[in-house]
Amino acid sequence: MKIGALSLPTPYILAPMADLTHAPFRDLVAEWGGCGLYYTEMLNARIVASSDPARDSYCAVGTKDTPRAAQVVGDDPAVVAKAFEKLQGLGRFDLFDFNLGCSRGGPARYGWGAALLNWPDRVREILRQARSVLRAPLVVKMRIPEGEGNGLELWAERLAQWGVDAVVLHARSRRDLFKRPARWEAIKRFKSVFSKPVVGNGDVFSPEDALNMMDGTGCDAVMIGRAALMRPWIFADLSHYAQGGGVPEPPDAGAVVARYAELVATRFDEHEAVRRLRLFAFWICQNFSYGAHYFHTACRAPDLWAMVETLRGFLSRERVPDYPVRPFLM
Ligand SMILES: Cc1cc2nc3c(=O)[nH]c(=O)nc-3n(C[C@H](O)[C@H](O)[C@H](O)COP(=O)(O)O)c2cc1C
């Protein structure tokens, strides 16, 4: 699987997830056998363009998380291009992504992310300026455009003309949020009219789902979000399964939490490490029927290591259930 000149070791990609896919988490995924491409958290173009990304923990990278994609969100063509140029200058990233998918929080309020799908001229100018500064592959991650008709086909045509090297399609519209299931048929439609690689995304909850998405839609690669937060080892399971080896026995989730804590503790101060552990614990606890109780109890622990011990006490006692994962946040 290639995007532009970049070869991915596997067609299985870790999704960008704000506050969660930081360098320590990506290294954790890598330690479990790794994926084909690791996305950063979404990076705010204004912040990257106006500060020194070399000193910004959001732009930090791990030791094993390669190849890497940096995702930028914003709406001002010059600012977005400046941000890409600075990120490229760090020499840490192999691919750059422009966010046309976010539909929550600050970016949604500013009219960034998926809202830009209503402003194609603006997107064209952003991509033109981005292309002019980038040597590495340029990708957009988008949602299904809103409204009936051929919006998806129109966007495929535009994006091919505007020089993107691949598209990640999260198969929901802006208004869907997570409230309705992903519409994989949209990935199939997009793939049938877009000549470059298409990465399918949305509701892959098991290794079997990933292969079904590829078979059913013809997409070239699969991106996994929530299931990778719940099971950072899912990419190893997926590679094993794709080679006909079945799904391996799950690891001890308590030990995975402990390793995550070690990794965040080496990169962040105590306060930030605790915040990041809470965010991860929210997801990994969702593997278990009493996960909400485990999570809330752990959040009352006085420090990072007490929190780890509490989580280990709960999680190491239980076997991780078989796939599919069932995230609360749907
Ligand atoms: C907590 C969380 C944070 C996310 N942050 C981002 C982000 O920063 N950029 C982005 O393009 N998508 C973001 N997404 C969307 C995911 O990348 C992905 O498109 C979505 O979760 C669907 O994939 P899944 O069904 O495998 O989870 C986020 C999703 C979640 C759950």
**Mean per-residue pLDDT over the chain, rounded:** 96
In the three-class reduction of DSSP (H, G, I as helix; E, B as strand; rest coil), residue 85 is classed as helix
> Can you give the pLDDT at residue 329?
63
Write the pLDDT tens digit of every residue in 282-326. Answer: 999 999 999 999 999 999 999 999 999 999 999 999 999 999 999
Pocket perturbation via mutation, ligand 1, pick of 167, 226, 275 by most ligand atoms within 8 A of CB:
226
Question: What value does the mean pLDDT take over residues 213-234?
Answer: 98
pLDDT at 274: 97
Is the shortest distance between the CB of 304 and ligand 1 below 6 Å?
no
Helix%, strand%, coil% for the chain, nearest 5: 50, 15, 35
pLDDT top residue among 105 and 12: 12
Candidates 12, 13, 14, 17: which one to mutate for ligand 1, based on the most atoms within 8 Å of Cβ? 17
Q: Is 72 touching ligand 1 by the criterion CB < 6 Å?
A: no
Measure 225 CA to ligand 1 centroid, in angstroms: 6
Nearest C-alpha to atom 15 of ligand 1 is from which residue? Answer: 17
| The pLDDT of residue 32 is above 90 | yes
Cα(304)–Cα(267) distance, rounded to whole angstroms? 13
Q: Is 41 in the pocket of ligand 1 (CB under 6 A)?
A: yes
Q: From the candidates 59, 102, 219, 285, which is the catalytic residue?
A: 102
pLDDT confidence of residue 265: 97
CA atoms of 107 and 75, how far apart (whole Å): 9
Average pLDDT over residues 24-36: 96
Choice between 267 and 150, residue whose per-residue pLDDT is larger: 267
What mean pLDDT comes out for the span 108-136?
Answer: 96
**Is the pLDDT reported for residue 70 higher than 60?**
yes
Q: Give per-residue pLDDT as tens, 240-263.
A: 999 999 999 999 999 999 999 999
Q: How far apart are CA 305 and CA 103, in angstroms?
A: 35
**Overall pTM > 0.85:** yes
Q: Mind listing the pLDDT tens digit for each residue in 100-111?
A: 999 888 998 999
| Residue identifier of the C-alpha nearest atom 5 of ligand 1 | 17
Model pLDDT for residues 154-182, shown as the tens digit of each residue: 999 999 999 999 999 999 998 887 888 99
Whole-number pLDDT of residue 149? 73
- For atom 31 of ligand 1, which residue has the closest CA? 226
pLDDT band of residue 8 (cuts 50, 70, 90) is very high
Residue 89's pLDDT is what? Answer: 98
Token pair recorded at residue 301 = 């622990």
Q: Is 299 a catalytic residue?
A: no
Q: Ligand 1, atom 26: nearest CA belongs to which residue?
A: 225
Which ranges constitute the DSSP H helices of the chain?
Answer: 23-31, 45-50, 77-90, 105-109, 120-133, 151-161, 184-193, 207-217, 226-230, 234-242, 253-267, 270-284, 291-299, 304-315
Q: What is the mean pLDDT of residues 188-201?
A: 97
Nearest CA to ligand 1 atom 3: 17
Q: Which of 1-15, 26-40, 103-117 shows the lowest per-residue confidence on average (mean pLDDT)?
A: 103-117
| pLDDT surpassing 70 at residue 197 | yes
pLDDT at residue 328, rounded to an integer: 82
Residue 330: pLDDT above 90?
A: no
